[in-house]
Amino acid sequence: MEPAAARRVLLCSVCLALWCLRCAHGLRSSGNHEWEKLIMVQHWPATVCKEIENNCRNPPDYWTIHGLWADKAEKCNRSWHFNFNEIKDLVQDMKIYWPDVIHSEPVLSRFWKHEWEKHGTCAAQLDALNSQKKYFGKGLDLYKGLALNSMLEKFGIIPSGNYYQIADIKDALANVYGVIPKIQCLPPKQDEEVQTLGQIELCFTKDLQLRNCTEHGEPEARRRGAWPAGVATGLEVCKDGPAFYPPPQETKR
């Protein structure tokens, strides 16, 4: 090859490499993929069943994981598909603590697939969460460490026909965890008196340390994340005032 031709080939190769690097950087730094905090989202199964008007069969009588979400980012790597085999070792705990409340056993992994492909591929930017096994495993660890069910019971906040003040629930959680949570409710229907407690979010830094979900002066988003397409949702940030915390077998008043 002539020297001039060789130089042109080399120059083209370098330009191509630089272009690829720039594209890769652009994908990583895209506004859709930038995020600041992780959100451990737990929901109350009785309210989930009421929310979607689904007669769930034997919903759990304890708070379960809805997801581990990176804020401001969704579906960061559409080519990184869910692989059930990677989480086989976790399935026993997943069925207990991260169940698909609204679907039956044959499609259990549909919910986990949704959570991985929508949220896990974004959280995977962290080394601690950069595989499906790490993502779901760390989600289970955070859930167990927070022990939300027992913490609420400790303050006498238990499912019943009584109403609880949202401010009291926030204060109790802030007292335990040292950070401000986000609490979501199902608004009352026409024949109902009050909102229904449905979801509690606790937030983490990228170092997996607890932090406030909402900083001072920052508006609270109405809702983030949802069930797979086709399932209507209606939770919103709880209003100050009373809320109903429905017993597991009492999703209607």
- Which of 39, 55, 28 lies closest to 251 in space, CA to CA? 55
60 plus 5 within the same structural domain: no
Question: Does any domain span residue 115?
Answer: yes
Question: Does any domain span residue 44?
Answer: yes
83 plus 65 within the same structural domain: yes
Residue 119 is part of which domain span? 35-244
- What residues contact 29, with CB distance under 8 A and at least 6 apart? none
Classify the phi-psi angles of 208: left when phi > 0, otherwise alpha if psi is within -120 to 50, otherwise beta.
left
Strand-strand pairing, 195-204 and 236-237: unpaired
27-71 per-position pLDDT tens digit? 443 445 789 999 999 999 999 998 887 667 788 999 999 999 999
27 plus 40 within the same structural domain: no
Average per-residue pLDDT for the chain: 84
- Domain with residue 118: its CATH number is 3.90.730.10
186 plus 235 within the same structural domain: yes
3-state DSSP helix/strand/coil % of the chain, to nearest 5: 40, 15, 45
Region 71-76: mean pLDDT is 92
In whole angstroms, give the CA distance from residue 163 to residue 18: 61
29 plus 108 within the same structural domain: no
CB-CB contact of 82 with 30 (8 Å): no
**Residue 210 in this model has a pLDDT that exceeds 70:** yes
100 plus 174 within the same structural domain: yes
What is the predicted pLDDT for the residue at 251? 44
**Residue 189 in this model has a pLDDT that exceeds 80:** yes
> How far is the CA of 170 from the CAs of 64, 71, 165, 225, in angstroms?
19, 21, 9, 21
The residues assigned a catalytic role are: 66, 115, 119
> How many domains does one find in the chain?
2
The letter for the amino acid at 74 is: E
Neighbour-count burial of 243, counting CB atoms closer than 10 A to its CB (0-12 exposed, 13-18 middle, 19+ buried)? buried
In whole angstroms, give the CA distance from residue 66 to residue 111: 9
What is the predicted pLDDT for the residue at 28? 42
**Residue 231 in this model has a pLDDT that exceeds 50:** no
227 plus 146 within the same structural domain: yes
What is the predicted pLDDT for the residue at 5? 54
In whole angstroms, give the CA distance from residue 29 to residue 245: 41
Question: Does any domain span residue 97?
Answer: yes
CB-CB contact of 181 with 167 (8 Å): no
149-186 per-position pLDDT tens digit? 999 999 999 999 999 999 999 999 999 999 999 999 99
85 plus 208 within the same structural domain: yes
69 plus 21 within the same structural domain: no
pTM of the model: 0.81
**Residue 23 in this model has a pLDDT that exceeds 80:** no
46, containing H or E segment: helix 45-51
| Look-up of token digits 């601690």 | 128
Of all residues in the chain, the percent with pLDDT exceeding 90 is 65
Output the CA angle 103-104-109, nearest 5 degrees: 75
Question: Does any domain span residue 250?
Answer: no
DSSP SS3 for 183: strand
- What residues contact 239, with CB distance under 8 A and at least 6 apart? 166, 185, 195
